Homo-oligomer: A and B are copies of this chain.
Amino acid sequence: MAKFMDVHDGFVGVTAQELDAAHCEDLRFEATEGVHFEKAWLDPEAGKVFCLSTGPSKEAVLRVHEKAGHPTAEIYELTVEV
C-alpha cells in the first residue's frame, strides 16, 4: 500500500458540512478501488483541499474521486515522511 496526497482547487467558501458531504462520497466509493481516505483539510479562503489516502496507485485514488464527483489531476505519492 502506498500513501498519497491529492490537492483540489476551487473550493472557495465551502463549509465544514459541505466538505464532510464530499468526503462521505469518497468513503462511499473507496472500497471498490482498495483506497482509504484518512483525512481531508480545507482552506475555504484559498479554495484548497488536501486529502491524505492510502491505496494501490494514483490511478485508483483518481478513480475514487471521479466516482465521487470531484476529480483532480494533482495526486502525489508520498514515499517519505518525517
Residues of A with Cβ closer than 8 Å to B? 3, 5, 7, 14-16, 19-20, 23, 39-46, 48, 50, 52, 76-82
* 16 residue pairs bridging A and B, Cβ less than 8 Å apart: A7-B7, A15-B80, A16-B82, A23-B82, A39-B82, A40-B81, A40-B82, A42-B78, A42-B80, A43-B78, A43-B79, A44-B79, A44-B80, A45-B77, A50-B50, A50-B78
State the oligomeric state as a number of copies: 2
What B residues does A50 contact at CB under 8 A?
5, 50, 76, 78
Indicate whether A77 sits within 8 Å of B40 (C-beta atoms), given known contacts A50-B5, A50-B50, A82-B20. no
Closest 10 A/B residue pairs (Cβ): A43-B76, A42-B80, A41-B78, A23-B82, A16-B80, A41-B81, A20-B82, A48-B76, A40-B82, A19-B80
